[in-house]
Structures are given as structure tokens and as C-alpha cells.
Structure 1
Amino acid sequence: MKRKVILIFISCFFILMGEGRGKEVLEECPDKPNCVSSEANHSKNYIEPIIFNESNEIIKKKLIKVIEKFQGKILEDKENYLKVAFYSKFFGFEDIADFEIESEKKIINIRSAAQTGWYDFGVNRKRMEKIRAELK
């Protein structure tokens, strides 16, 4: 009997842990000027989230089309989350971008960061602003 109770408790714990995570948590930007995030704590790294009026399905389809237009490679695709790699044309530097759709707030939280180096000449911020403009 005691064993059954322990197994039920452990099962419920893992079920609740998996279900309670409906929202992806975007990684915090490092203390470098080559990262932007709509959830940043530092003003130098902060960028506004993308606001949308469509359903999740429609905005996600639009977002994927825009990502393809900017030659992004989708690395991870979950229901309300995309992880994308972008590469610079000349040197092939990799930037990783995260897009998290929050349906109840009608926003897309964004984060984009260079994977190497210290300074990116504002490339990640400019790309996110271009993506925002394309989605309007």
C-alpha cells in the first residue's frame, strides 16, 4: 500500500511539472551588447515584444514565412515557440533567435543573440525590428 501511494505521488509530481510549463522562459541576455530580448532586465538589451491581433495559428504561419524570407533555419518548433538560427552572409556568424507566442497577451516575446564575439554592430536588433515590420 505504501509503495502504491509513493508511486502515485511521483507520477502526479511529474505530470504536474510537465503541465505547469505552458510558457517558455527565454534565456537572459549576457552582459554583452550583442543580444536583445523583450524580457531583458538591462535597458541596453531590451527590445519591445511583437504585438499581434491574429490567432496563434495565423501569426505563427506568418512568422515562419518571415523567418524563411530572412533565410532563418528553424531549429526547434513547439506549439507556441520557435528557435531559429540566422547566419551572416559573409563570415557565416551564427545568431540564435527565440520567438515565444503568448496568446493571452497577444504578444511574441523575442530574444536574439550572437553566438560569438562581443559586439554585433546592432545586427540582432535590426533583424528583429525588420521581422516586426514584416509581420505588420
Structure 2
Amino acid sequence: MLEECPKSPNCVSSFSQNKSHYIKPIEIVGNVSETREKLIQILKNLHGEILQENKGYIKVAFYSKFFKFEDIAEFQIDSNKKIINVRSAAQTGWYDFGVNRKRIEKIRQELN
């Protein structure tokens, strides 16, 4: 299970009980392995740096263009439920201007 978001409004998670942090998991339509490979390609296309990867989990870092702020996104693939649970959070600062939520929604859109 992915870690809960901190109280700061710079994180989204499909496991969050807090409405302001909650984001729906990404549904897997079709083959799980193909979706996983497509997800990895999307993350790379978005200039994500893969930090950790195994069959059911991907951890990636994203850096802002100007100030090089780091966001860490995690993807937990649940083959049985055919969903990808997500958590994405800024590593510094209090507010992220919705960047993490927008990034996850862009990934969701590109996967489907």
C-alpha cells in the first residue's frame, strides 16, 4: 500500500481518505502487461526518471523545468482488480498549484 499524503496540499493518492488528496485509481483496460509497458513509456515521454521498477510497482521522479523541484510519483499495479493505484507528491514546499493532480490525470488520459 502506498503511503498516505501529508497534510500539505501538494499530494494526491488513490488511497487517501482526505477528499482534497483523493484521486481515482487508473483503470486498466485490456492486457495488464501491455498497460504496464505503455505506462512506463508515457512516464519517460513526460521526462520522468524511473527510480524503481518491478512487476507491480513503479516509482518515478519528475523535476520542474526552472527551479528543479522534485515530485515523486508511485504506481502500484493491482492485476486482480485491474487498476493502478497512484500517489504523487511534491518533495518540498507546501503547495504545488495542482501539478501532481494534473500530471496523474494526463497519464490517465494517455493510457486510455
**TM-score band w.r.t. shorter chain:** over 0.9
Q: Larger Rg: 1 or 2? A: 1
SS in 1 for 2:107: helix
Aligned: 1:100 with 2:76: yes
SS at match of 2:93: coil
Q: Write the distance in 1 (CA, Å) between the matches of 2:102 and 2:83.
A: 19
Q: 1:57, CA displacement in angstroms? A: 1.1
Q: Which has the higher strand share?
A: 2
List 4+ stretches of structure 1 deviating above 6 A: none
Are 1:56 and 1:80, in contact at CA under 8 Å, matched by a contact in 2? Answer: no
Letter aligned with residue 126 of structure 1: K
Q: Which structure's residues are more often helix, by fraction?
A: 1
Alignment of 1:1-136 (within 5 A): 25-136=1-112
Maintained 8 Å contact 1:32/1:118: yes
Secondary structure in 1 aligned to 2:95?
A: coil
TM-score by length of 2: 0.98
Describe the SS at the equivalent of 2:105.
helix
| Aligned mates of 1:100, 1:59 — CA distance in 2 | 12
Structure 2 unaligned runs (5+)?
none
- Unpaired runs of 5+ in structure 1? 1-24
**Percentage of matched positions with identical amino acids:** 60
Q: Distance in 1 between the 2:84 and 2:63 partners?
A: 22
Q: Return the letter of the residue paired with 1:59.
A: T
Secondary structure of the corresponding residue to residue 68 of structure 1: helix
Structure 1: how far apart are the matches of 2:59 and 2:41?
Answer: 14
Task: Look up the match of 1:14.
Answer: none
Partners of 1:34 and 1:119 within 8 A in 2: yes
**Structure with higher RCO (Cα < 8 A, 6+ apart):** 2
Q: What is the TM-score normalised by the length of structure 1?
A: 0.81
CA RMSD of aligned residues (A): 0.6
Aligned length: 112
